[in-house]
Amino acid sequence: MALELKSSDNKIFEVEELVAVQSETIKSLVEDGCADNVIPLPNVDSKTLELVLDWCKNHVDMKLDEEKLKEYEDKFIEVDQAVLYDLLLAANYLNIKDLLNRACQKVADMLKGKTPEQIRETLNIVNDFSPEEEEEIRKENLWAFEE
Amino acid sequence: MKNINTACYSMAETSTSTSTSNKNMKGSPITNLAPDQLFSILLLLPIDSILAFAMTCKRFKALACSDTLWESICRRDWGPSSVDVLKSSNFQFQQQWMRLYRQISKLESVSCHKMTYPDGELELPKPRASHSLNFVSDCLVLFGGGCEGGRHLDDTWVAYIGKDFEKMLKWQKVNSGLPSGRFGHSCVVIGDFLVLFGGINDHGNRQNDTWLGQVTRRETLGITLSWTLLDVGTIAPPPRGAHVACSVDNKFMLIHGGIGLSGLRLGDTWVLELSENLCFGTWREIVTCPSPAARSGHSLTCIGDSRVVLFGGRGLGYEVLNDVWLLDMSEDILKWVQIQYELPNIPGGVSLPRVGHSATLILGGRLLIYGGEDSYRHRKDDFWVLDISAIPSISMQPTTLISKEILAKMWKRLKASGYKPNSRSFHRACADHSGRYLYVFGGMVDGSLQPAESSGLIFDGELFLVELVLQL
């Protein structure tokens, strides 16, 4: 059975039910009998939705091949930061647990072991602390960096 | 349809408000994420990275220092049960989880307090060693042990502690005769019950009976404790004394080793599962390879989340051991894994091999190791924290190389202030509800120039309290 999903920019995606129900949100709609018409997803643009559906489809196809699936996942998540956050938001909204976990892990890996300055660079954040404030915080948190 | 629409509306609202609120954040797409999502990401990071994130800008400092997040971090690193107990206890830490985490991480010293007794108290428990001491149903329970002349004791003593720290205690003798007198037995807490196993009496008879003890507090009758023999059917571990036991997840009792019928040290592992109605129990042996070598006088402690830690003891060749083993009871295939470590450089020749020490779970999911004897038969009075929380629990292979940074933090010697108790071994210790206080009773203390001679054995009868010092 096929479902129709509409992205925020009004693009329609026809998807097999088996693939679409990887999303717990869509799954409950189907179970409640509300999925007969086109399902609007005003929070997901077509670019992101296309990626998300690719993830879902491959998770159905490669379900039994753990190694192949891991290879796919690793490659899939190698995206620009902006795309990564869009995927994370979409996975959260559509309630696709494994995608959400993978995206969160990718962001965590980006930040792990970095100094504050390095994190600012990675995330493109401006330091809005005064030098005194910064020194105070550094001293407060020294305990976590000792030994 | 309406489910998705309302979900969309609230999601859209959050996104727009976060991205336009702070112009500092333009061009920084991570700001599209909601606090909950940022928390999920932060919970995947080690503490130093979480704090580095907090030091990037004001907005992220507020987020990364939030109490909600740090309660989750405490759950993650200490185990959910520690956090739940803290929340329900009267411990005054004003729910500042980040501050508490820091205080526990920085734990450097303990403070000892001598317990006092109300005036006019007549009877106090006799000095003894290799007894059992447990905290159950808000009470401290003491049973059995060996005393002067190598005689066994069969008395049960109870003291009501309640939910708060008290330096004054009132011992009450509640039973005599049942279970039969013994020392070197084990006693653990499962739910509101004490589960006692094995031990040896002064005729040299080793036992393998299992007893259930339950404390009852009544208005008029005061505190009583009833012991019942547990029906375990035909399968039971061979009789033994000086073995170790611990309760796992409030459901099982795990035992290991000890000295068996022939006087030989054992190295077997058994688990007892109680029936729902607690009327009978089933023993089953856990056979794994490799497994900790045969030994007695070691320690076995559950550190939460179905993981148990075994340390030290005296082996088959009479040598004092210092190895650490971990068993994860939640895994499908159970296996003991040895955790290899290097002794840190400590001046004064402090040695870690121990027998007759106590290893108690304290706040923060770590073990407080106290006293015992070393390889030279010297009784110790030092306090150590054994921290294996950093060791990954998932499918550890015996040959896994653990990073040096993690191993370096495994052992930490604590300073001790306040009352100075005698060096001791074969004492017993147990923590209260909060995990911040340890009650220690009895044990053998030095009495002559040559402590190895049995004539020089002195049994101690004092109860003292060990407090974890949380610095600001």
Chain B 86-125, CB below 8 Å of chain A: which residues? 102, 105-106
The gap from C-alpha B352 to its chain's centroid, in whole angstroms, comes to 18
**For chain B, percent of residues with pLDDT exceeding 90:** 58
Whole-number Å distance between alpha carbons of B37 and B98: 19
Q: Taking CA atoms, what residue in B is nearest to A85?
A: B30
Q: How far is B347 from chain A (nearest CA, A)?
A: 18
> What is the side-by-side strand order in the sheet with B139-147?
B132-136, B139-147, B151-160, B172-176
From chain B, the residues in CB contact with A29 under 8 A are 1, 3-4
Predicted pLDDT of residue B161: 84
**Pairwise CB contact (< 8 Å): B58 & A123:** no
> Which of A31, A111, A114 should we substitute to test contact with B (largest number of B Cβ atoms within 10 Å)?
A111
Name the minimum distance, in Å, from the CA of B31 to any CA of chain A. 9
> For B396-400, what is the mean pLDDT?
50
Judged by CB atoms closer than 8 Å, whether chains meet at A125 and B56 is answered as: yes
Residues of chain A neighbouring B49 (CB-CB closer than 8 A): 111-114
For B27, the closest chain A residue by CA position comes to A124
For residue B149, pLDDT beyond 70: yes
Torsion from C-alpha of A67, A68, A69, A74, nearest 10 degrees: 90
| Secondary structure of residue A144 in the 3-state scheme | helix
Give the chain A residue nearest B408 (alpha carbons). Answer: A147
Q: Would the CB atoms of B24 and A105 count as touching at under 8 Å?
A: no
Work out how many CB contacts closer than 8 A connect A with B.
Answer: 122
Look at residue B73 and give its three-state secondary structure. helix
Q: For residue B40, list chain A residues with Cβ-Cβ distance below 8 A.
A: 100, 104
pLDDT at residue number B304: 81
Vertex B305 angle, CA B283 and B236, to 5°: 10
Cβ–Cβ below 8 Å for B8 and A144: no
Note the pLDDT of residue B396.
47
Contact assignment for A114 to B12 by CB distance below 8 Å: no
For residue B140, give Cα distances in angstroms to B10, B111, B328, B433: 53, 20, 29, 11
Nearest-neighbour CA in chain B from A58: distance (Å): 25
* Residues A83, A87, A89: CA angle, nearest 5 degrees: 115
B417 touches chain A (CB under 8 A): no
Q: What does the alpha-carbon distance between residue B408 and residue B405 come to, in Å, rounded to a whole number?
A: 5
**Do B3 and A34 count as a contact with CB atoms less than 8 A apart?**
yes
- pTM (two decimals): 0.79
pLDDT tens sequence across B353-370: 999 999 999 988 889 999
- Least confident residue range of B292-296, B325-329, B362-366: B362-366
Higher pLDDT, B401 or A9: A9
Average of per-residue pLDDT across B87-96: 70
Given phi > 0 = left and psi -120 to 50 = alpha, else beta, which region is B7?
A: alpha
Q: What is the signed CA dihedral for B40, B41, B44, B46, rounded to 10 degrees?
A: -120
Give the DSSP letter of residue B433. T
CA distance B186 to B358: 13
Considering chain B, what percentage of its residues have pLDDT values greater than 70? 83
Helix (H) or strand (E) holding B15: helix B2-21
With CB atoms and an 8 Å threshold, state whether B54 touches A141.
Answer: yes
The encoded tokens of residue B196 equal 């006692």
Residue (of A3, A65, A68) closest to A39 by Cα position: A3
Q: How far is CA A15 from CA A49, B267, B468, in A?
A: 11, 60, 60
Yes or no, beta carbons of B37 and A92 under 8 Å apart: yes
pLDDT score of B5: 41
CB contact under 8 A, A137 and B30: no
| Best A48, A125, A134, A137 residue to mutate vs chain B (most B CBs within 10 Å) | A125
When scoring B10, B26, B30, B60 by the number of chain A Cβ atoms within 10 A, the one with the most, hence best to mutate, is B30
What's the pLDDT score for residue B77? 82
- For position B395, what pLDDT does the model report? 39
Contact state of B28 with A124 under an 8 Å Cβ cutoff: yes
Residue among B53, B54, B57 minimizing CB distance to A127: B57
User: Given B12, B45, B57, which is nearest A108 (Cβ)?
Assistant: B45
Report the C-alpha gap between B353 and B373 in whole angstroms: 8
Given CB atoms, is B470 within the 8 Å cutoff of chain A?
Answer: no
Mean pLDDT of chain B: 85
Q: Which of A32-41, B225-234, B269-278, B335-344 has the lowest mean pLDDT?
A: B335-344
> Which of B34, B45, B58 has its CB closest to that of A111?
B45
Among B444, B459, B432, B468, smallest CA distance to B133 is for B432
